[in-house]
Structures are given as structure tokens and as C-alpha cells.
């Protein structure tokens, strides 16, 4: 049940003078569990994989296929960002099925942190792909007078990325809390099943949007490189 506002940090424990919120503590636990599963599943990778390794390989290949479909290029340079985002978000969104745990994505700080990571990663990948000068010049297109609007659009889309994830997860958590309050514990079971679907969908949307943003940042590099190759021939 939602007992506190998602806009208020609930302190789980303290590290010296630093308070660690409930959402941050849950995120750390998720990161540790994901690392442990990955380590146990892949530390002795085999050509004839076991169930854990097979599941991880299928998941990685599915993510790589989605990145390839969106970016139309080798997905490997982008797997660390997009793959990690998707796997973390799916796990974070689904911890709500564990009694006593609340999804960290239902608190503002986690979606904000993830959106900031996407923001900086997009620009870093854009600069690495196109070069600093070429990347900065795209803010002057199609007209230099539109540069302020182009810069503003970078900020607003990052903000919308954060608000979309936070709003959907928070509102769903509130709906579940209201249903539990009014109908008891058994009736909301279908809603809990729905929450699994919603959690996966929200993780997918966030990751796909991050991929689209990366594609917009590096997309011109493909055209530029193709043009250079044709001129060389």
C-alpha cells in the first residue's frame, strides 16, 4: 500500500551523515542481484548452455535485435547502455510483486537519474560518432536561429522521459493501493498480473526512446561516412 508520497524520500538507513532513501537502497539491491545472476550464469559459459545461460543469451539477442532494428547498424556498441537500462528497469518495475517492496521507479529520483544517464550518454555517443564540430553543428540546422529551440528540445525530451516513467509507475502503484484498500487482498490479484505487463511495457518504452535518441545523435554519421566512401570510389 502507498503510505507515503512518491515525492518524499523515505530514509532506509544512514551511511555516516548521508541518508540512503528506500528507492536507492532497493536500486542497489537490484543491481547486486542482477550482477550475481549474470556472474553465476556466465562464469562458466559453455557451448551447450544450461537454463540460466540460455535465458541470458536469449535476452541479450532479443535486445540486440531491437537495437539493430532501430539503429540499422551493429548493436554491440550500444548494448551496454540500452541493454542495462532495459534489464534494470524490468527488474525495478517488477519488484512490486514482492511483498514489502516498492518499485524504485515509482519515486522521482530513480527516473530522474536514469534520464540524466541517457541525456549524457546520447551526447557522448553523438560526439564519438560524428566528431565534436559536426555534432554541435546539427543544433544550427535547418536554421541557426533555431539553435535555442533545438537545445531546449534536448532538455524537454529528457524531462518527458523521466516524467513518463515516473508518472506511469506512480499512478499504477496508487491504483493498486486504492483497490487493496477498498476491496481487500484477493480482488487485486488481476491488477498485480497487469502490473507485470505494465512494468515490462514501461521498461521497453523507456529503452526504445533512449535508442531513438541515440539514433538521432549518431544517425548523420552513417550518411556522412557513406558519402565519403562514395566520393573515395
pLDDT of residue 51: 80
Distance CA 203, CA 96 (A): 14
Distance CA 93, CA 100 (A): 14
Distance CA 201, CA 221 (A): 30
Distance CA 187, CA 204 (A): 28
Of the candidates 104, 87, 91, the one whose C-alpha atom is nearest the C-alpha of residue 173 is 104
Read off the pTM.
0.82
Helix locations, 7-108, DSSP H: 22-42, 51-71, 76-94
pLDDT of residue 230: 42
pLDDT of residue 229: 41
Non-local (6+) Cβ contacts of 228 within 8 A are: none
Distance CA 157, CA 63 (A): 23
- Per residue of the chain (233 residues), what is the pLDDT tens digit? 445 555 666 777 788 888 888 888 889 999 999 999 888 877 777 777 778 788 888 999 999 999 999 998 899 999 999 999 999 999 999 887 777 778 888 888 899 999 999 999 999 999 998 888 888 888 888 888 888 898 898 899 999 999 999 888 887 777 777 776 776 555 566 767 777 888 899 999 999 999 999 998 987 444 334 444 444 44
Of the candidates 66, 72, 67, 64, the one whose C-alpha atom is nearest the C-alpha of residue 226 is 72
DSSP state of 79: H
pLDDT of residue 232: 46
Cell of 13: 538507513
Domain boundaries, the chain: 11-232
- Asked if 29 and 37 touch (Cβ cutoff 8 Å), the reply is no
pLDDT of residue 143: 83
Amino acid at each position: 500500500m502507498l503510505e507515503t508520497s512518491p515525492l518524499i524520500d523515505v530514509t532506509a538507513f544512514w551511511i555516516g551523515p548521508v541518508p540512503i532513501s528506500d528507492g536507492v537502497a532497493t536500486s542497489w539491491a537490484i543491481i547486486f542481484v542482477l550482477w550475481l545472476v549474470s556472474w553465476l550464469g556466465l562464469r562458466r559459459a559453455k557451448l551447450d548452455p544450461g537454463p540460466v545461460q540460455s535465458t541470458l543469451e536469449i535476452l541479450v539477442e532479443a535486445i540486440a535485435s531491437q537495437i539493430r532494428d532501430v539503429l540499422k547498424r551493429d548493436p554491440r556498441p550500444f548494448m551496454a547502455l540500452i541493454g542495462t537500462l532495459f534489464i534494470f528497469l524490468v527488474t525495478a518495475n517488477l519488484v512490486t510483486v514482492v511483498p514489502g517492496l516498492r518499485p524504485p521507479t515509482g519515486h522521482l529520483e530513480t527516473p530522474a537519474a536514469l534520464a540524466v544517464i541517457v541525456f549524457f550518454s546520447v551526447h557522448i555517443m553523438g560526439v564519438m560518432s560524428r566528431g565534436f564540430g559536426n555534432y554541435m553543428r546539427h543544433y544550427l540546422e535547418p536554421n541557426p536561429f533555431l539553435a535555442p529551440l533545438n537545445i531546449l528540445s534536448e532538455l524537454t525530451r529528457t524531462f518527458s522521459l523521466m516524467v513518463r516513467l515516473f508518472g506511469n509507475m506512480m499512478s499504477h502503484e496508487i491504483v493498486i493501493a486504492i483497490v487493496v484498500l477498498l476491496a481487500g487482498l484477493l480482488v487485486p490479484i488481476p491488477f498485480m498480473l497487469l502490473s507485470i505487463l505494465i512494468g515490462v511495457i514501461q521498461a521497453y518504452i523507456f529503452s526504445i526512446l533512449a535508442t531513438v535518441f541515440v539514433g538521432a545523435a549518431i544517425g548523420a554519421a552513417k550518411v556522412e561516412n557513406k558519402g565519403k566512401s562514395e566520393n573515395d570510389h
